[in-house]
Structure 1
Amino acid sequence: MPIQDPTIAAGAQLQLRIIPRDAHPISRKDISPNALRVLYRLRENGYGAYLVGGAVRDLLVGGRPKDFDVATSATPEEVKALFRNCRLIGRRFRLAHVVYGREIIEVATFRANSDDGSGDREQHEGGRLLRDNVYGTIEDDAVRRDFTANALYYAIEDFSVRDYVGGFEDVQNRVMKLIGDPEQRYREDPVRMLRAVRLAAKLGFRIDAATAAPLPLLAPLLREAAPARLFEECLKLFLAGHAVAGFLGLERHGLLPVLLPETAAALKSNRSGALRKMLLEGLRGTDERVAAGEPVSPAFLFALLLWPAYCRTLMALQAQGMHAAEAQRRAADRVTVHQLATLALPRRFSLPMQEIWLLQSRLSQRKRASRLLAHPRFRAAFDFLVLRQAASDEHAEEVAFWREVQAAAGEADTAADSDATDTAEAAPRRRRRRRRSVTSASA
């Protein structure tokens, strides 16, 4: 039966489509056993319960989801009553977290759009939702979700996929499409603009034309989002193995000047393109490390993302006649403070980021090599220098010099370890004097 909803474009109708088990690739063996436990217990107690969102989407395209979310007709309090290992979280969106060791199964109650006064909803005058805890049916819940690809429900009773908004077809066509009026949905939650770019980069999808059209115009709304939330979204965007595609998406859709304003301005004014070349090379390296299962430091990531801004600010200060060392410190502080207005970059990342920048001048001087080699940020600073060489050959001699210094230091360490081993083996063993017991002495 067609379903009407106010968030859907005028005249559009929704039709439930059930994709049977033999028409999709999802198998229970690919689903977290803990998520299955939650689904079965909810069903056994009379509640509707489905695997939903990103897990279903990713399984359909052959991915391996890390998180498994459940949507249910049970309220958060009813979920908590069924699971002793459950805790309720959130004010803006009330959720139940069922905890199994390190794994958390997030359980959300079906949400509705219309509030008859019995629910808990608060909306900003600009359209942004401040709190949204109005519960409804699965049909209500489907049209409340952001993208059609995220509004797919896997049912364990018959292993089918239920689609109310055309998401199954969109996943097959590899397209990200907002449910409802794009401008209204972005105003409800501006971070959806970043999610559109991030998910398209992650999945290799294109963004639907109507979904993409408002992005440059509404990009300034991101300034209204919480800086801590934007920081977390940036980590997801750049540390999930699709950093290059994510960055290009930000550029293409006009979001970069709002998210990283000083970097965007520096890249635009850098006629040689060297700064952009270095940044993209660094992001490629980040993607390679993630693919290889190697860690990536957020401090190094933001040193890379904000380096164009640092360079531009440094040049401006030096043009004013400021001494080089003072200009470097001032530039590092200024860029960090300005960026904090948008992203809540924690000090545990911003301070190492600044050290990486400030060590670049010391690496170019090549003085006190052994002392600099012992600096805790030396390796990160050297790797950063290698990236700078990728954008400009003028750093080739510096890179070669520090490679030789590190190689020599490694050989010296090996020789020292060998000498210590030889000395230990050559030392005569001391014979332990046998202590006479009190009993034997008095006998």
Structure 2
Amino acid sequence: MPCKLLKHMTRWFTPSSADSAGPLEPRVIPRDQHPISRQQVSRAALNVLYGLHKGGFEAYLVGGCLRDILCGREPKDFDVSTNATPEQVQRLFKRSRIIGRRFQIVHVRFGREVIEVSTFRAKASDDNQDRNKHHAHEETGMVLRDNTWGSIEEDALRRDFTINALYYNIADFSLHDFVGSMEDIDQETIRLIGDPEQRFREDPVRMLRAARFAAKLGFEIEKSTASRIPDMAELLLQVPSARLFDEVLKLFLSGHARASYEQLQELGLFRFLFPETQQALEGDQGKTWEAMLLAAMDNTDRRLLMDKPVTPAFIYAVLLWPVIQQRLTGYLSSGLPPAQALHKSATRALNLQIKHTAIPRRFSTVMREMWELQLRLDKRAGRRADAMMEHPRFRAAYDFLLLREQCGEIEPGLGDWWTRYQEEDESGRREMISELGNRGGGNNKRRRRRRRPKPAADN
């Protein structure tokens, strides 16, 4: 990974001193001393940068896109930071809209691409009532609203990690480094700006972001940053479940699912996202369930690498399957039929999970279908196999079945049968069905209808 860029640079700013008095003096790196080129920036982002510049405002490319370029990665998103207020940005660009309440930003659309534009933010001062009315905290320290405008120096200190705090100036194509970002990128280090405890309390999701960046980039989380996470992981319970759902998707559907899972476990974060699943992982079948989770994550990473589609429904279905199985046994022992027991187990698992990470109905419905088809995949006699293959969730259910066999939850065999059945022609499929007989394929005999005796004729 080509992040070893400027080894000759020495650290001139300590992030833990972010609250110290005195203005920050940035290290300005001219265009001929850094590798970032406008050719690596999307046309939409350049349009926004130049539009702001021509409008008389400061305009900088900022954050993860610069980090990724410096690490030899292709950025997926481009963010812009400016001294223009959201209202001023909106007046400059016709296809734009102000979004957010907690963090007010502007989305500027060019074709299908959306560029996120944020105004320089400042830390609210206790003696500045005008600023404080736009800045609110919970008693725990979590920031509820943060719309206080400031300077680029103040904005740099409000960024979460040093690796995300570089600024690319469209006016002269220079890089501005306020917090030793270049050195940490060079050293492949993830470091919070400011006091870790305070910054995690302001936004507990930063703990998940640290885990995600470590997984995505292969960087090491700096010791003082990492050491506070296990003790503060419980703060995730204060974060809205809808926001945590989005964070889980970034962790598990961005091509580094296994590494993300390992980071979450190492930092003690996973149990606060999926507490019931964590309990199952610590039970007697824990190794089996973890093998299934890791296999699903590896499969997801491979599909993304091959540009194949993935869905949140599948990874969530796998994550909650251990929870369902734990409850299913109890419901079956109480005498409930398998389908009813599974339905009840699924409902209970989903109701508990949405307290931690929201699951939109469009995904939970698909998850239920995948789970319910696990009971029907063994019913293959007659035309049942053909009908099963026409089910819109068959492929997902089939992949799910293969995972269950792969991790040893169930005996292998059924998955191989379905693999061969999909490859056969019509005559081959009929032969496979006939070989089943009445074993494993359901009862193929139709019940004879009893004929009612004809009424006696009248004499």
Is TM > 0.5 for Structure 1 vs Structure 2? yes
Name the counterpart of 2:42.
32
Q: Does 1:84 align with 2:98?
A: no
Structure that is richer in helix per residue:
1
Distance 2:380 2:155 in 1: 62
Q: Does 1:267 align with 2:267?
A: no
Name the counterpart of 2:129.
117
1:266 Cα shift?
Answer: 0.6
1:283 Cα shift?
Answer: 0.5
* AA at the equivalent of 1:112: A
* AA at the equivalent of 1:91: R
Relative to structure 1, the CA distance from residue 11 to residue 319 in structure 2 (aligned partners, 3 Å threshold; closer, same or farther) is farther
Q: Does 1:98 align with 2:108?
A: yes
Name the counterpart of 2:55.
45
Aligned with 1:395: secondary structure? coil
Name the counterpart of 1:369.
385
Aligned with 2:316: secondary structure? helix
Name the counterpart of 1:312.
326
Q: Does 1:389 align with 2:399?
A: no
Distance 1:78 1:190 in 2: 31
* AA at the equivalent of 1:90: G
Q: Does 1:223 align with 2:237?
A: yes
2:422 to 398, 403, 406: 406
1:317 Cα shift?
Answer: 3.0
* AA at the equivalent of 1:273: K
1:255 Cα shift?
Answer: 0.7
Q: Does 1:206 align with 2:216?
A: no
Relative to structure 1, the CA distance from residue 5 to residue 78 in structure 2 (aligned partners, 3 Å threshold; closer, same or farther) is farther
Distance 1:58 1:231 in 2: 24
1:246 Cα shift?
Answer: 0.8
Matches within 5 A, 1:129-168: 129-168=143-182
The CA deviation string for residues 257-312 of structure 1, in whole angstroms up to 9 with x for no partner, is 11011111111113461111111011001001011111002111111111122222
* AA at the equivalent of 1:92: R
Out of 343-352 and 264-273, give the one that drifted further. 264-273
Identity in percent: 48
Matches within 5 A, 1:59-70: 59-70=69-80
Name the counterpart of 2:84.
74
Query: Which protein has greater RCO, CA pairs closer than 8 Å, 6+ apart?
Result: 2
1:3 Cα shift?
Answer: 8.8
Cα RMSD (Å) of the superposition? 2.3
Distance 1:4 1:47 in 2: 29
Distance 1:393 1:90 in 2: 44
TM-score norm. by structure 1 comes to 0.87
Distance 1:247 1:168 in 2: 28
1:11 Cα shift?
Answer: 9.1
Distance 2:88 2:387 in 1: 62
Distance 1:3 1:403 in 2: 59
Relative to structure 1, the CA distance from residue 260 to residue 41 in structure 2 (aligned partners, 3 Å threshold; closer, same or farther) is same
Name the counterpart of 1:58.
68
The CA deviation string for residues 87-134 of structure 1, in whole angstroms up to 9 with x for no partner, is 222211121222112111111111000241222111111111111111
For structure 1, list consecutive stretches of 5 or more residues without a partner in the other structure.
Answer: 414-443
The CA deviation string for residues 392-443 of structure 1, in whole angstroms up to 9 with x for no partner, is 2853211122123223356789xxxxxxxxxxxxxxxxxxxxxxxxxxxxxx
Is the Cα–Cα contact under 8 Å of residues 7 and 143 in structure 1 kept in the other structure?
Answer: no
TM-score norm. by structure 2 comes to 0.84
Aligned length: 412
1:193 Cα shift?
Answer: 1.2
Aligned with 2:413: secondary structure? helix
1:146 Cα shift?
Answer: 0.6
Distance 2:321 2:410 in 1: 17
1:332 Cα shift?
Answer: 0.9
Distance 2:256 2:24 in 1: 33
Relative to structure 1, the CA distance from residue 295 to residue 128 in structure 2 (aligned partners, 3 Å threshold; closer, same or farther) is same
* AA at the equivalent of 1:105: I
* AA at the equivalent of 1:98: V
Distance 1:97 1:90 in 2: 10
Distance 2:409 2:278 in 1: 24
The CA deviation string for residues 322-362 of structure 1, in whole angstroms up to 9 with x for no partner, is 44332211111110111011111011111111221122122
1:257 to 259, 271, 277: 271
Relative to structure 1, the CA distance from residue 272 to residue 341 in structure 2 (aligned partners, 3 Å threshold; closer, same or farther) is closer
Aligned with 1:130: secondary structure? strand
1:385 Cα shift?
Answer: 0.9
